[in-house]
Amino acid sequence: MSTQIVRGRRDLSGFRGYAVSPAGCRIDLSDNTNAWGMPPAAGQALAAIESTNRYPSPYSDELKEAIAGYTGAPPEMITTGCGSDDVLDSAIRVFAGPGEAVAYPVPTFPMIPLFARLNGSVPIAVPMTAGFSLDIDAMLASDARVLYVCSPNNPTGNAIAREDLESLVRRSSSEQVIIVDEAYAEFAGATAIDLATSCDRVIVTRTMSKAFGLAGLRVGYALGSPALVAGIETSRGPYKVSAMGERAAIAALTEGLDWVNEHVALAIENRRRLERALLDRGITAVRSSANFVWFRID
Ligand SMILES: *Cc1c(COP(=O)(O)O)cnc(C)c1O
């Protein structure tokens, strides 16, 4: 479904939202979610919920503790949301004002230019280099308030080189915020969390929707300096993570971790098998650090 805005903000006339086209095939893996389901511990946590008559905590304090245990970042450097989509949307809204620019590489996660437009910001598409690396000079030349980078990148699957991320952070100005979207970090074995905890202009976003098998519950989070986190929470508002989402996510991040790690390892093994099978057929894929593989066919 894609709804056109027919009344209201003039700058959105003709604007169309995110359109999901039916895959038209029997097995649809196009959302890159967990093919094996969710951790049994998360299912048990959901079944144990007796009532949902009360609101959850406004900013998911218990969930932040569990995320702190998983990531090693302190709770005051963590924020949560209704999926990482919500965190990205809130971050763009608070760090790029109306009329200010959000730069993002192309191809990447298609929600970013939509969030920018809906928040009155100006999306600036910056083509990646031939090998799907970050064009750092072009990203910086955009002079955008927010620089978005996705690593491993959706849809190409490759991780952005560590030295490129470091160089982007080093060469950006004190007015710029860098968002590193790590929706697939569990499959990459590398992270930029240390950049987010050491530089007060870097935000790393993560999700419970991919490796953790909880896409249907909509839980995401971000890590960054307490000041950035406070900005995102102000823009986001309270009660965005449901009581059920919070319980299941806590279970997945604690008792469910062995299950998650096991299935991440399986996904990586399958990814390698697929890459080898493609090579055997003469198809070269982009080297993936995610749970999917990107290649061109005739
Ligand atoms: C799936 C995905 C997300 C969105 O995740 P939610 O937490 O489900 O909103 C964000 N970024 C990228 C790159 C994704 O692929």
281 CA distance to ligand 1 centroid (A)?
31
Distance from C-alpha of 261 to C-alpha of 211, rounded to nearest angstrom: 8
Is residue 185 lining ligand 1, measured as CB closer than 6 Å?
no
- Interior angle at CA 83, CA 191 and CA 52, nearest 5: 130
Residue 175's alpha-carbon distances to 96, 113, 121, 144, in angstroms, are 10, 20, 16, 9
- pLDDT reading at 2 higher than 80: no
Q: How confident is the model at residue 204 (pLDDT cuts 50, 70, 90)?
A: very high
In this structure, which residue's CA is closest to atom 1 in ligand 1? 183
Instruction: Give the pLDDT confidence score for residue 14 in this predicted structure.
Output: 83
Q: For 105-131, what is the mean pLDDT?
A: 96
Q: How confident is the model at residue 213 (pLDDT cuts 50, 70, 90)?
A: very high
Is residue 231 lining ligand 1, measured as CB closer than 6 Å?
no
Instruction: Give the pLDDT confidence score for residue 3 in this predicted structure.
Output: 61
Instruction: Give the pLDDT confidence score for residue 168 in this predicted structure.
Output: 98
Q: How confident is the model at residue 264 (pLDDT cuts 50, 70, 90)?
A: very high
Q: How confident is the model at residue 11 (pLDDT cuts 50, 70, 90)?
A: confident
- pLDDT reading at 32 higher than 70: yes
Is residue 220 lining ligand 1, measured as CB closer than 6 Å?
yes
Residue 133's alpha-carbon distances to 139, 146, 168, in angstroms, are 12, 19, 12
Q: Which long-range contacts (CB under 8 A, 24 or more apart) does 60-67 make?
A: 60/241, 60/246, 62/246, 62/250, 63/219, 63/221, 63/241, 63/246, 63/249, 63/250, 64/221, 66/249, 66/250, 66/253, 66/254, 67/221, 67/253
Is residue 115 lining ligand 1, measured as CB closer than 6 Å?
no
Ligand 1 pocket mutation, candidates 31, 207, 217, criterion most atoms within 8 A of CB: 207
18 CA distance to ligand 1 centroid (A)?
13
Q: Which long-range contacts (CB under 8 A, 24 or more apart) does 124-132 make?
A: 128/156, 132/156, 132/158, 132/286
Q: Is pTM, for the whole model, over 0.75?
A: yes
Contacts of 137 (CB under 8 A, 6+ apart): none
Q: List strands edge to edge, sheet with 220-223.
A: 78-81, 220-223, 202-207, 177-181, 146-150, 101-106, 122-127
Q: For 146-162, what is the mean pLDDT?
A: 98
Q: What is the DSSP code (8-state) at residue 22?
A: P
Instruction: Give the pLDDT confidence score for residue 110 in this predicted structure.
Output: 95
152 CA distance to ligand 1 centroid (A)?
12
Q: For 250-267, what is the mean pLDDT?
A: 98
Instruction: Give the pLDDT confidence score for residue 19 in this predicted structure.
Output: 79
Q: How confident is the model at residue 4 (pLDDT cuts 50, 70, 90)?
A: low
In this structure, which residue's CA is closest to atom 12 in ligand 1? 183
Q: Do residues 52 and 183 touch, judged by C-beta distance below 8 A?
A: no
Instruction: Give the pLDDT confidence score for residue 231 in this predicted structure.
Output: 98
Is residue 157 lining ligand 1, measured as CB closer than 6 Å?
no
Instruction: Give the pLDDT confidence score for residue 5 in this predicted structure.
Output: 65
Percent of the residues in the chain that have a pLDDT greater than 70, as a whole number = 98
